[in-house]
Amino acid sequence: MKVLGLVLAGGRGANLRPFTDIRASAALPIFGKYRAIDFTLSNMVNAGISKVGIITQYSPRSLMDHIGSGKEWDLDRKQGGLFFLQPFFRLSSETIGYKGTADAIFQNMTILKRGNEDFVLIGSGDHIYKMDFQRLFRAHINNGADITVLTIPFSKSSKEVISCNAGRVTGWYKDTKSFDINEEELRESAGVYFINKFLLRELLFSCVPEGKDNLVEVISANLSSLKVMEYRFEGFWRNLTADVAIYFKTNLDILNHKIREELFYKHGKIYTKLKDLPPPKVTTTGRVTNALVSDGSIISGSVINSVVFKNVRILAGAVIENSIIMEDCVIEEGARLENVIMDKNSRIRSGRKLSGSPENPAVVEKSGVI
């Protein structure tokens, strides 16, 4: 089975300012050395997908810098490989850009027309999870489905609610306020769709010109005519763009042994851009407990319950607790941080104190100095 991967990575991530002021949400740093998109991209590559289109729109520079030629994912290929699908000017339209996820694929119809793939797997660059997509492919075939949607357990705050009957998707709702359905039948969409390529083309040609710009609209308009099935995912799944508190909490979740096991060691590896930095170093004054530390970092202070990204310097006497310290940060002597997210390349002057709360972490912006 040949599958084309499409990653939706154009999101603005407005709830995650200031981190998304300078980067697309799919390029959000996570777990010490990764970017959000690494998870979906690695899941696809681990499932044997060798042709991937990445649909970008908002602020793609850091995302493109991260992915480059796709070499780390073995996507620098002569056949297939990696395609960046960026918005462009069209003669037929005054506006530039994609109006929605379906419109984005519609405007890049060439990638669906070319190539010998039979199926398309559509995922989002903002979601953190690890799964074996091969199982989803098999379920799709066994169910004789037209479209398979990945679903996660339903929650009250969900904005992508799906009602199901014996595995078949029967309804798609923006929230649960307006109706009354047995909650046992409700699931939440994880934003992953598996669909026959030719069917997708037909759906896009028939729906997008009518003004249905999002995939959800396209699919939910055809629930009665098509066999749309759900595939249940019960593992660790997070949408990073929900809000800053969830972004903060998700980053710290990796200190849990079970979550590390699931995300890093099950169903293949997570690939990311390599930088060839030397191994992390803890000096004679350093103390590290319950923390994740990446290459190139030198720890001379204390690090407790925290995630330390690459090439960070934590100088003697500094105390870091419950914090996320991104790449190239420097924390000078005697500084104290608690519940802080430091964006890349920022610096805390010696003796300064900064603290937030788990629900409302203090934020140091990129290249900021405090």
Positions in the binding site for other proteins (CB under 8 A): 31-33, 71-72, 255, 260, 264, 269-272, 274, 276-284, 286-296, 298, 303, 307-308
- Nearest to other proteins of 184, 276 (CB atom): 276
Q: Which is nearer to other proteins, 245 or 277 (CB)?
A: 277
Residue closer to other proteins by CB (options 105, 270) is: 270
Q: Count of alpha carbons within 13 Å of 23, Cβ hemisphere only?
A: 22
Minimum CB separation from other proteins for residue 25, in Å? 22
116/290 with CB nearer other proteins = 290
In the complex, minimum distance from the CB of residue 72 to other proteins, in angstroms, rounded to a whole number: 8
Residue among 233 and 271 whose Cβ is closer to other proteins: 271
Q: Is 358 in contact with 245 (CB distance < 8 Å)?
A: yes
Q: How many residues does the chain have?
A: 370
Least gap, CB of 47 to other proteins (angstroms): 17
**Residue 66 or 187 having the CB closest to other proteins:** 66
Nearest residue (CB) to other proteins, 125 versus 280: 280
* Secondary structure string (H, E, C) spanning the chain: CCEEEEEECCCCCHHHCCCCCCCCHHHCEECCCEECHHHHHHHHHHCCCCEEEEECCCCCHHHHHHHCCCHHHCCCCCCCEEEEECCCCCCCCCCCCCCCHHHHHHHCHHHHHCCCCCEEEEEECCEECCCCHHHHHHHHHHHCCCEEEEEEECCCCCCCEEEEECCEEEEEECCCCCCCCCHHHEEEEEEEEEEEHHHHHHHHHHHHHHCCCCHHHHHHCCCCCCCEEEEECCCCCEECCCCHHHHHHHHHHCCCHHHHHHHHHCCCCCCCCCCCCCCCEECCCCEEEEEEECCCCEECCEEEEEEECCCCEECCCCEEECCEECCCCEECCCCEEECEEECCCCEECCCCEEECCCCCCEEECCCCEC
| Nearer CB in complex with other proteins: 148/346 | 346
Min CB(73)–other proteins separation in Å: 10
Which string of b and e fits 208-239 if b means at least 16 CB within 10 Å? beeebbbbbbbbbbbbeebebbbbebeebbbb
CB of 192 to other proteins, least distance (A): 23
277: how many CB neighbours lie within 10 A of its CB? 14
Give the shortest CB-177-to-other proteins separation in angstroms.
Answer: 40
67 or 112: CB nearest other proteins: 67
Minimum CB separation of residue 50 from other proteins in Å reads 18
* Residue appearing with tokens 């074996």: 132
Residue 69 or 155: which CB sits closer to other proteins?
Answer: 69
